[in-house]
Amino acid sequence: MSPPHRSAVQTTRPTLHEVARLARVSPATVSRVLNTPQIVAPETLERVQDAIKQTGYVPNLMAGGLASNRSRLVAAIVPNIARSIFNETVESMTVALAEANYQVMLSLSGGGDERMASVVDTILARRPEAIIVTGNLREGELKRRIVGTGATVIETWDLPAEPIDVAVGFSHTAVGQAVAQALYAAGRRRPLVLSTNTPRALAREQGFRAAMEARGVATASAAPFPVPTSLAQGREAFAAACAHGAPPDCVFCSSDWQAHGVLIEAQKRGFKTPEDVAVFGFGDLEFAESTEPALSTVRIDGAEIGRIAAKILIDRAAGRAPERAVFDVGFELVRRGSA
């Protein structure tokens, strides 16, 4: 991909050998300066570092990774990045891993099973030392392929009963229960749940429904929406709910987007929030505190999930096993004006 019309440009980079020659040491010593500086003599160190600066040398990590069998690469598989709740996790993990000289390869799994298969091949071809999964890694061939690599596998944003390796997340069922309890305590008896077609959103719905049922309250639900969620889904669902008999007196949404949509539609239809209808979101996205009224929601510390994942990886690289197989970061109910 080197541009033909610029082929005259000097494009060959200095190698470790050239640095070694300039510093009058062996290539091995330059390698040590780069990777284990503490074991090289101070004067040598300085001479080599000068040579590195002088030549503008940047190590070739393809060569380094091949020789050392350590790619210093972590693969993160997410459904998408356009409007993803996982982005904060990926971002904080990327920053934390960068300090340990690891780089994150983002891979998009959205777009169906065929794409997922080629995504996995593409990932494995780079020999990542760890693979972070958000969303679902379904059973089967792919999972077996990934596990077979021996790489650390971290599942995030959920607490699987049987983690593949290590998991960092929280209980979606518990979230549903907690919201149901709060809404019940506030006197709500005609709940509506908006869900999506993901296992985690469905787990929240189940938790909610079970907790309401235990209190003798039946829960209505809208057909699961596709992800990513949207304002439009919330508006649409609330409008539909109003069309069928008695409107709900509270709505538990599967995202703050949907919840904001419910807020807008309810207001347009003359409902007062929270008096006539209480609204609960999920995610505590940045805008949640700025809606009118401000959104009550469930806060997940996505950045913390990323930080913990990074720590696990770094510890493993240093030969320390993780303290446990499952890390529960919990969640927090944030009560604001809408419920």
**Nearby residues of 106 by Cβ (< 8 Å), 6 or more positions away:** 76, 78, 81, 90
CA distance 243 to 222: 13
Pick one of 7, 11, 12, 290: the residue that binds DNA (CB under 7 A).
12
* Residue 311 contacts which entry, its own copies, DNA, none (Cβ below 5-8 A, type-dependent): none
* Residue 16 contacts which entry, its own copies, DNA, none (Cβ below 5-8 A, type-dependent): DNA
Enter the tokens of residue 193. Answer: 């749940």
* Closer residue to DNA (CB): 32 or 172: 32
Identify the CA nearest to 313 among candidates 157, 102, 119. 102
Pick one of 98, 214, 218, 240: the residue that binds its own copies (CB under 8 A).
98
Helix intervals (H) in the chain: 16-23, 27-35, 42-55, 61-68, 87-98, 113-125, 141-148, 172-185, 199-213, 231-243, 256-268, 302-317
Among the residue ranges 34-42, 113-121, 193-201, 258-266, the one whose residues contact DNA (CB under 7 A): 34-42
- x-or-dash string of contact with its own copies, 294-333, rule CB under 8 A: -------------------x--xx-x-x------------
Asked if omega into 274 is within 30° of 0 (cis), the reply is yes
Pick one of 127, 143, 189, 299: the residue that binds its own copies (CB under 8 A).
127
* Residue 15 contacts which entry, its own copies, DNA, none (Cβ below 5-8 A, type-dependent): DNA
83 lies in the binding site for its own copies (CB under 8 A): yes
Helix (H, G, I), strand (E, B) or coil at 87: helix
Q: Write out the binding residues for its own copies, residues 208-227 only, by CB under 8 A.
A: none
CA distance 308 to 306: 5
Q: Write out the binding residues for its own copies, residues 134-163 only, by CB under 8 A.
A: 145, 148-152
Contact yes or no for 57/14 (Cβ under 8 A): yes
Provide the minimum distance between the beta carbon of 100 and its own copies in the complex, in angstroms, as a whole number.
10
> Which residues contact DNA (rule: CB under 7 A)?
12, 15-17, 24-32, 34-35, 39-41, 43-44, 57, 59-60, 63-64, 66-70
